[in-house]
Structure 1
Amino acid sequence: MNSPQHAPAPAKLTTNLGLKDRNTFGLDARAELAYEIDSAEQIPGVMSQIASKNLPWRILGGGSNVILPKVLPGATLLINITGQEITASENEDTLITVGAGVNWHEFVTWTLENNLPGLENLALIPGTVGAAPIQNIGAYGVEIANYIDHIEAFDVEKQAFVTLSNSECRFAYRDSYFKQNPHRFIVTKVVFRISKVWQAKIHYADLAKHFETNPKPSAEEIFLAVCKIRTHKLPDPKVIGNAGSFFQNPVIPNEQYETLLKKYAGLVSYPDAPGKRKLAAGWLIDQCGFKGQRMGEVGVYENQALVLVNHGNGTAQDILGLAKCIQDKVRKEFGVSLEIEPNIF
């Protein structure tokens, strides 16, 4: 991607901007300097200003996977780059270019409306398209990494726009090159490669159970099933603050899994890499008695132990305090460490 040729309109700057409606936990935070990024061309100028003043900075998309402090010092870049279009139709695949600020669920809905199935298992995940590859979001047996062709981003280190291929993104479970190198890349566009040969993916337990009597569902039926399951398990952030799944599912060696299975016959797990087994973090937390429990203004959701919630006036400190209690007890009971999934600002 070449550098922009025309001087862009400057990004809107707001001081002391409240961010309670820009994070799904509903934390009462504010940004000292908030830049509204509506186009990629605005980024070099903003980053130049930040560098000249030696300001701390961070990116905020949909705020669905973050834990915010009361004050975000320095600069916060609010990514609002929109737009989605089919940019190529090859023999076997369709390429779709999507702006980083596009709402993820709305994009998944758009793909089905345009007869481009493949992402339906990832329906109703909160957040933006630009944030999705950083965490390599996944659900119900599907990861976004399997559908990304390449990513366009601004490389802060090189002060230039770059394109990273799928392999260069170094995707792994809830991980990527972007996550490994924070503060280096600002994602501007994601280009998806969707196969024209669609195959239903319903092997994940919840979906397999849902489609017991319908082994060949359509993409639309899977989409609706995922929305139904997620709505039952996960609270609506507009009703009660949360960031979805709070802990990653831990991956352990088969030997440790076999030892745990002898002690806990109901241990919920899934196959992973050779010699590895992925445990259901929600099950581990539930066994420790946390589901539905409250600690002051924060707590654990009553229908899904993997979700931490803000009952109204919780702070980042409250959430992290509860998270530590959970981590300590799970480690003591199972000998397994839980890693926090949201980014802590």
Structure 2
Amino acid sequence: MKQKIPNTFGLTVFAQNVVTVTSPEQLQQVWQDNYQNLPIMIIGEGSNTLFTCDFDGIIIVNRIKGITISETEQAWHLKVGAGETWHDLVSTTIKQNIPGLENLALIPGCVGSAPIQNIGAYGVEFQKVADYVELLELATGKIITVTDGQYGYRESIFKKEYLQGYAVINVGIKLPKQWQPVLTYGELRNFDPKIVTAKMIFDKVCEIRCSKLPDPKVLGNGGSFFKNPVIDKIVADKLLEIYPNMPIYPQANHQTKLAAGWLIDQCGLKSYQIGGAAVHQQQALVLVNKDQATAQDVVELARHIKKCVLQKFSVNLSPEIRFIGNSGEIDADNYL
């Protein structure tokens, strides 16, 4: 009997089997017990993921837990199980007066996804705090420690070389004791860097996210659907002449990052709906399951958004959400 796949979009999608594991040994056992050689996929909470159809294999839900904190004169060192909820980790550090993760509050998903996706928000990306990632080689049970994640914008080596045959089991995080607040985005700019605390930033980020972003438990969604596009500065400057209020974020190498949510909003797409899927009325970057949406409703909506933004701005949006087909991850750009 097929089992429903947990996913924050709240889509009704099924797999041949769904197994929850709480240890590396159990994870490897499930992998090795796959006598039929069915496709296998490991997930955390099923956030940042769109199952485009039923999955023809086994879904392993990683619930390897544990938070160990040690310190040196220079830094705090955290070893965190991949199955811990990311926001719970951030909350724990704030309660223990350990700054450094406050900008990343309320990002949905599990800790194991953080290095894979190089999660980021409010001017901070995971790579800033990354120390190491422990991977389980599923065929052998060998544990590999990777210290260079080759991080990019929502990219890492774990999306490529280590996607097949490996699983993240622990994540190492290093938080320097010489803390410098990051106040480069949005309302955080209003803080005085001389007196601001990590708790103040944490509280503000939570307040902003709660006001703009829907709770997946209430309104199914996968988080930010599209990446913020990074384009050539010359192209961005030409767009600025037409749209002087357009938010821009200068990058290295003569590149400029644009706000995908703003571009979608300018196309008049807030609350736009196809089938049961809709653009969220307060944050255009989030697509929601408004009324028993199917995966194809979400896909068609994303296609429409991509087409509208391309026509209006000549800017190509690329999904941040990972698309999963019947046997594994598929190229989201090509699918749209």
TM-score category (smaller protein): over 0.9
Alignment partner of 1:145 is 2:127: yes
Structure 1 residues 279 and 135, CA, compared in 2 at 3 Å: closer, same or farther?
same
When the two structures are superposed, what TM-score results if normalisation uses the length of structure 1?
Answer: 0.90
* Distance in 2 (alpha carbons) for counterparts of 1:100 and 1:312: 32
Q: Which residue of 2 aligns with 1:180?
A: 160
SS of equivalent to 2:30: helix
Alignment partner of 1:321 is 2:300: yes
Alignment partner of 1:191 is 2:172: yes
Describe the superposition over 1:245-283 as per-residue Cα deviations: whole angstroms up to 9, x where unpaired: 110000001111111112221221101122100000011
* Distance in 1 (alpha carbons) for counterparts of 2:81 and 2:115: 13
Structure 1 residues 157 and 175, CA, compared in 2 at 3 Å: closer, same or farther?
farther
Describe the superposition over 1:131-164 as per-residue Cα deviations: whole angstroms up to 9, x where unpaired: 1111100000000111111010113476632110
| Aligned positions of 1:122-161 closer than 5 A | 122-156=104-138, 160-161=142-143
SS of equivalent to 1:117: coil
Describe the superposition over 1:70-93 as per-residue Cα deviations: whole angstroms up to 9, x where unpaired: 52211111101011011x322201
* Distance in 2 (alpha carbons) for counterparts of 1:198 and 1:214: 11
1:173 deviation in Å?
0.6
SS of equivalent to 2:33: helix
Point out where structure 1 has 5 or more consecutive residues left out of the alignment: 1-14
SS of equivalent to 2:269: coil
Alignment partner of 1:171 is 2:171: no
Q: Which residue of 1 aligns with 2:309?
A: 330
Q: Which residue of 2 aligns with 1:17?
A: 3
Alignment partner of 1:78 is 2:51: no
Q: What residue identity is the alignment partner of 1:54?
A: N
1:234 counterpart (180, 199, 213): 213
Describe the superposition over 1:39-82 as per-residue Cα deviations: whole angstroms up to 9, x where unpaired: 012222222223x4221111111111111245221111110101
Q: Which residue of 1 aligns with 2:233?
A: 254
SS of equivalent to 1:208: helix
| Aligned positions of 1:52-131 closer than 5 A | 52-86=35-69, 88-131=70-113
SS of equivalent to 1:230: helix
1:113 deviation in Å?
1.3
Q: Which residue of 1 aligns with 2:331?
A: none
When the two structures are superposed, what TM-score results if normalisation uses the length of structure 2?
Answer: 0.92
Q: Do the aligned residues in 2 keep the contact of 1:156 with 1:183 (CA within 8 Å)?
A: no
1:185 deviation in Å?
2.4
Higher relative contact order (CA closer than 8 Å, sequence separation 6+) = 2
* Distance in 1 (alpha carbons) for counterparts of 2:103 and 2:165: 30
SS of equivalent to 1:54: coil
Describe the superposition over 1:77-115 as per-residue Cα deviations: whole angstroms up to 9, x where unpaired: 1101011011x3222011111000001101100011112
* Distance in 1 (alpha carbons) for counterparts of 2:8 and 2:37: 29
Q: Which residue of 2 aligns with 1:8?
A: none
Point out where structure 2 has 5 or more consecutive residues left out of the alignment: 325-336
* Distance in 2 (alpha carbons) for counterparts of 1:195 and 1:93: 4
SS of equivalent to 2:303: helix
Structure 1 residues 196 and 248, CA, compared in 2 at 3 Å: closer, same or farther?
same
Q: Do the aligned residues in 1 keep the contact of 2:4 with 2:18 (CA within 8 Å)?
A: no
* Distance in 2 (alpha carbons) for counterparts of 1:67 and 1:281: 19
